[in-house]
Amino acid sequence: MNEFNVDLHIHSLHSIGVSRSMTVPQIAAGAKQKGLHIIGTGDATQPDWLDHLKTNLHESDGVLTHESIAFIPTVEIEDNESIHHLVLLPSFESVKALRKTIKKSSPNLDSEWGGRPRVNMKGEGLATAVREAGGMIGPAHAFTPFKSVFREGKYESLSGCYGKETGMIHFLELGLSADTDIADCIPELERLTFITSSDAHSPSPDKLGREFVRFRMEAPTYDELRAAILRKEGRRSVLNIGLDPRLGKYYLSFCSSCRRTLVVVRGSNPPSHDDLNIYMSCDSQAEQISLLREIRKRRVKCPVDGKNLRLGVRDRASMIGGSLSRSPSHRPPYLHIPPLLDIISTALMSKSKSTRTARLIYDRMLSQLGQETAILTDVPVETVSEIDQRVGQMVDACRQGRALIVAGGGGRYGRLIAPWEEEGPENR
């Protein structure tokens, strides 16, 4: 049985805010450099992108490839409740079938910027359409405060969204601000396979494959991928690789207006704030849970502007399922590790990942050590350190779960901290 590194959620140049370099040749080149084997096409129902895919992908034995990189037709769809769904499809014929079904319900399916189409359908109806087209569907970035199935004010169960199709939902995309521990606070999700993927808008190595799944299966086909998601005949996911959720944009709870993030501290002091955070005191864990429940009910105001606080991913998941996380036996390990360029720039204590020095170290590591995924997961730390000692130290800290992080929230990414960098304890 083979193992494949898989990133199933990206976008094309036909989605708003996406790099014009997101073409099949450049995506494939980026995937090869990264060490990915299978990529979701993204935006498969957009007609111009679909033509581009048909022109640039070669089909043989049920596999769509461009220069050794396999592609699976995928699309992210927004339903009439502003919930985003990730759709996996077996072929261009199935894309055509899905397009035919949703066309009358979609105002932007054929738009130049319709890569992520909106449909006037609820989750249940959309899931039926995908199933009838031969595909699979699951929640995209399931816990983010915007556009997700589990966001505040929406659902607290899959069945609320998917109705009678719930039994046909077999995977869930965690998103950059969630991981296995967070999602497994919700017992209902135990049977699902968790997907980690990049939602990349650029083929650059700090975007494409910044999260991915390692699947064990025979070949890079849709049928094998489906079997792996369903965990059939030895096919399964063996590793989720992604950011520590504290590095995501929506990990901490936050003010819906000023976007300052909530930091709960022990004590009984009145609320305070600085430029980034709101500080609220709780004397006990029970009092902290009570505070989160009040935020959930929109009863807690920001001390800066009086607007409602909103739950971030971590707190929202705990409010749905509880604070205790129990992972089922089939759940693979989750490796918290950011892209190599992020690690290098942190090691250099640089604010930019595009400095000449950072790119020189990155290129040297790829030249001497192989693809990025191997450097992040498999190459001995001692070998990495021979090229740059501080980068090796950072890789080791991430692999061992000892990396220091200032947590993100309210639309602000978290920040990785070098062990030798001076930093206060807030948000770690």
Q: What total number of domains does the chain contain?
A: 3
Question: Does residue 326 lie within any of the structural domains?
Answer: no
Question: Does residue 351 lie within any of the structural domains?
Answer: yes
Question: Does residue 327 lie within any of the structural domains?
Answer: no
Question: Does residue 130 lie within any of the structural domains?
Answer: yes
Q: Kindly give the confidence (pLDDT) of every residue in the chain, 428 residues in length, as a single tens digit, with 9 standing for 90 and above.
A: 999 999 999 999 999 999 999 999 999 999 999 999 999 999 999 999 999 999 999 999 889 999 999 999 999 999 999 999 999 999 999 999 999 999 999 999 999 999 999 999 999 999 999 999 999 999 999 999 989 999 988 999 999 999 999 999 999 999 999 999 999 999 999 999 999 999 999 999 999 999 999 999 999 999 999 999 999 999 999 999 999 999 999 999 999 899 999 999 998 899 999 999 999 999 998 999 999 999 998 999 999 999 999 999 999 999 999 888 999 999 999 999 999 999 999 999 887 887 899 999 999 999 999 999 999 999 999 999 999 999 999 999 999 989 899 999 999 999 999 888 754 444 44
- Of 205, 245, 208, 248, nearest to 358 by C-alpha is 205
pTM exceeding the 0.85 threshold for the entire prediction = yes
**Pair (193, 291) in one structural domain:** no
Residue 221 in contact with residue 40, Cβ under 8 Å? no
Q: Which domain holds residue 50?
A: 2-244
Q: Among residues 189, 211, 244, which one ends one of the domains?
A: 244
Question: Does residue 409 lie within any of the structural domains?
Answer: yes
Per-residue DSSP letters for 83-109? -EEEEE-SSHHHHHHHHHHHGGG-SST
* Residues β-bridged to residue 84: 78
Residue 408 in contact with residue 388, Cβ under 8 Å? no
**Pair (292, 387) in one structural domain:** no
pLDDT digits (tens, 9 = 90+) for 103-135: 999 999 999 999 999 999 999 999 999 999 999
pLDDT digits (tens, 9 = 90+) for 324-356: 899 999 999 999 999 999 999 999 988 788 789
CATH code, domain carrying 161: 3.20.20.140
Phi and psi based region of residue 2 (left: phi greater than 0; alpha: psi -120 to 50; beta: remaining): beta
Question: Does residue 358 lie within any of the structural domains?
Answer: yes
What pLDDT does residue 422 have? 54
**Pair (195, 299) in one structural domain:** no
Q: Among residues 244, 273, 290, which one ends one of the domains?
A: 244
